[in-house]
Amino acid sequence: MTTSKRFGYIRVSTVAQNLERQVDALTAAGIDPADIYSDKISGARQSRPGLDDLLSRVREGDSITVLSLDRLGRTALHVLSTIADLEERGVTVLSLKDGENMTGATGKLMRGLMALVAEWEREMNRERVEEARAARAARAKDGEQVSGRPRTAHTKENVSKVLKYRETGHSMRQIAKLTGLSSASVHRILSANLEGVAPYDPKVHGDEPERV
């Protein structure tokens, strides 16, 4: 018959902080120091080797004790997801923080509230993504570059100079010398503003796209 084990998990936000206070608290709660796993990383980072190792070791009937539930994830949604996954595996999560008992009626109420918070957070994230996408589309419509490397050569002044020289019959190479721009930049400006000029392709046009 497999004997259940009590594990502990602690985390501090930076390497400058000390884990000893959390170790002492878990030890006082009856957790063997050998069964305490830890991470010294920011909660915003995805990689948590200590917690990942612990989650791979716990089995049905085991328990994980933490000082507070926020130690288990980056966000309310992540904490809830971790707890839900552990419960499905038959692992109990215990918190030493007052009001965070996850067992019994109180725990059921807390899980319900956390689910609401998680859903709210998910909706907020979805709205932020949609707003950012709409803002990028609006900027692109106005002619602003919204992705890739900034095209510093495509200023209004440079565009005006390139088009003016082109109207007077200068070749792309001549325009590049007169403006100090690369031939590729001249080609891009012309293809974006004039009909009949193919878009610049470095594989096709190279460093000297066109001589005429």
pLDDT at 183 over 70: yes
pLDDT at 68 over 80: yes
Of 63-72, 79-88, 138-147, which gets the smallest average pLDDT?
138-147
Domain boundary among 117, 143, 170: 117
pLDDT at 123 over 50: yes
Determine which one of 13, 81, 95, 182 is catalytic.
13
> Is residue 151 situated within a structural domain?
no
Is 93 in the same domain as 160? Answer: no
DSSP lists the bridge partners of residue 40 as: 12
Token code pair at residue 194: 């004039």
pLDDT at 15 over 70: no
Is-catalytic flag, 13? yes
178 vs 74, higher pLDDT:
178
pLDDT at 117 over 90: no
Reduce the DSSP state of residue 37 to 3 states and report it.
strand
Reduce the DSSP state of residue 33 to 3 states and report it.
helix
Residues 6+ apart with CB under 8 A from 46: 74
- Which pTM was predicted? 0.51
> Is residue 27 situated within a structural domain?
yes
Domain boundaries, position 169: 156-205
Of 38-42, 102-106, 171-175, 180-184, which gets the smallest average pLDDT?
102-106
- Give the phi and the psi of residue 137 in degrees, each rounded to 5: -65, -40
Q: What would the mean pLDDT of 172-199 be, rounded to a whole number?
A: 82
> Is residue 133 situated within a structural domain?
no
pLDDT at 158 over 70: yes
Query: Are 66 and 73 in contact, with CB atoms under 8 Å apart?
Result: no
| Average pLDDT over all residues of the chain | 77
Amino acid at site 166 = R
Is 11 in the same domain as 103? Answer: yes
Q: What would the mean pLDDT of 69-83 be, rounded to a whole number?
A: 79
CATH number at residue 10: 3.40.50.1390
Q: Sorting pLDDT into bands at 50, 70 and 90, what band is 212?
A: very low
Q: In the prediction, which pLDDT does 144 show?
A: 52
Is 96 in the same domain as 163? Answer: no
> Is residue 147 situated within a structural domain?
no
Is 35 in the same domain as 83? Answer: yes
* CA atoms lying within 13 Å on the CB side of residue 195: 0
pLDDT at 99 over 50: yes
pLDDT at 2 over 70: no
Strand 6-12 and strand 92-95: the pairing is: unpaired
